[in-house]
Amino acid sequence: MENRRPSPRRAARAAALVISLLPLLAAPALAGPLKALVGGRLIDGYGGRPLDNSVIVIDGDRIQTVGRVGEVTIPAGAEVISTEGMSVLPGLWDMHVHLMIVGHADYDHWDKTYPPLFRSTIMPAAARQLLMAGVTSARDLGAPLDDILGVRDAIRKGEIPGPTLYVSGPFLQHEPYPGTERYRWGIHGADDARAKVKRLADAGVDVIKLIDQDQMTLDEVKAVVDEAHKRKLPVVAHSHRVEEIRRGIQAGVDCFEHTGLCTAPEYPPDIFDLMKGRANTLFWTPTISPLLLYRTTRDDFPERIDDPRWQAGLPKEVVDDIRASLAHVDRLAYFQMVPGRWPTLRRKFEQLRQSGAILLVGTDSGIPLNFHSDSTWHELEAWVTTFGVDPMDAIRAATYWPAVFMKVDKDVGTVAPGKFADIIAVRGDVLHHIDLLQDVGLVIKHGVRYK
């Protein structure tokens, strides 16, 4: 395949047609405000026994009634949607996505070429792909501030389809990498740390993202966390290196991302003790699947690079550029350390579970090979199939617990009367076959049926 880089101008022209078609490609089903989902097996997100032959009555954007066939009266005039033979569950959350990237292997090229298309084309396409995969809520952890706020708000207004977004805007770190200043902000002293957090909070972000905190002073890290907490914003931090974890815990970071520590066989005893000291209050997003997808794509199923689902909404020139960047997956510098990390993942994942940290499903969706169209189900499958997590616990880590972390569990994360109608369904028994989530058959978000 020709490795040709499209100019931003040519890509923008191609994007214009796509933008004009997006409302048609993702138009929600037109129906009255009353719906009834009838017949399926309901996994409500609370962790209890599933409800067979369920009925869920939706009035507008909220759930009105939950019960069984024969016990619930379906309102006259309601649109009846059969879920017979299906597993019905809350809409999934992905707690670590990047809408500004869509699987391209060359970050430097991407950052130089595509920022003009982030808000108009790339982010909307990524958001729609997540929604069609059953992700009705997502946490975006790193993007240009105005672009991600614009897309978040457009989704909330119903102007474009996508998950309900909770966004951080730019990363906060000691020094931005060259060419990344639009979505990475440097911190120079505790006063500057507070000022940057204030700027983000005043703009309306939902969370603060902190990375490379081992390169900051402890006072700077504490200033970020303290200022964020004063403004009722949680702080999410990288855990790639031991000192990142140590300083993050000392400063009161709320949630860590990644298993981290590269090829180290486990978390050191002192770090593990710090983690246990925050048992049941510290959240952690292990982000396992991207490390496994490299082997899956390279050795088992390279055909996934041809899957049209990750291409939906993207201009052909952008798709061709992404495909060209992935032509020789085994040669990419990005993945050279990954095989050495595989043997360490099981032990670190076990330690996270043993520490008492509350684990969340998040995928780093958008990084090389990690397409928004299939990232979330791959993470759930890795937890269940590779690491032996009970399927119910894995589902709750992608429904109930994310809503608790974001303090929106009164409205979402479970299927119950009074909550937003964020509901998905898949044909078959998802508690015995978690990979059924790769083909979500029904997607309802805030009462609107998108699939």
Q: According to the model, what pLDDT value does residue 4 have?
A: 36
Q: Does a structural domain hold residue 160?
A: yes
Q: Across 126-202, where does the E strand assignment appear?
A: 135-140, 164-167, 171-173, 184-186
In total, how many domains does the chain have? 2
Q: Which residues pair with residue 185 across a beta bridge? A: 172
The pLDDT of residue 31:
47
Kindly state whether residues 196 and 236 are assigned to the same domain: yes
Residue 65: CATH number of its domain: 2.30.40.10
Instruction: For residues 224 and 160, state if they share a domain.
Output: yes
Tens of pLDDT, residue by residue over 378-424, are 999 999 999 999 999 999 999 999 999 999 999 999 999 999 999 99
26 occurs within a structural domain:
no
Mark whether 165 and 80 lie in a shared domain. Answer: no
Is pLDDT of 336 > 70? yes
Q: Which of 134, 122, 56, 24 is nearest to 440 (CA)?
A: 134
Whether residue 404 is found in the same domain as residue 425: no
Q: What is the CATH number of the domain that holds 341?
A: 3.20.20.140
pLDDT tens for each residue of 240-286: 999 999 999 999 999 999 999 999 999 999 999 999 999 999 999 99
Clarify whether residues 107 and 49 are in a common domain.
no
Average pLDDT value for residue range 109-114 = 97
User: Strand pairing of 184-186 and 62-68?
Assistant: unpaired
Residue 10 in any domain: the answer is no
The answer to whether position 20 is within a domain reads no
Is 22 part of a structural domain of the chain? no
Q: Is residue 203 part of a domain?
A: yes
Residue 76 class from Cβ within 10 Å (0-12 exposed, 13-18 middle, 19+ buried)? Answer: exposed
Summarised one tens digit per residue, pLDDT across range 209-245 is 999 999 999 999 999 999 999 999 999 999 999 999 9
* pLDDT, position 317: 98
Q: Judge if 56 and 173 occupy the same domain.
A: no
pLDDT(21) > 50:
no
For residues 342 and 444, membership in a common domain is answered with no
In this structure, are 98 and 129 located in the same domain? yes
Domain boundaries, position 35: 31-91+413-451
Question: Is 61 found in the same domain as 169?
Answer: no
16 domain residue, yes or no: no
- Run of H or E including 120: none
- Determine the Cα–Cα distance for residues 419 and 410; give it in Å rounded to an integer: 7
pLDDT tens-digit map of 124-157: 999 999 999 999 999 999 999 999 999 999 999 9
Same domain, 179 and 252: yes
In this structure, the answer to whether residues 429 and 299 fall within a common structural domain is: no
Mean pLDDT, all residues of the chain: 93
Whether 25 is in a domain gets the answer no
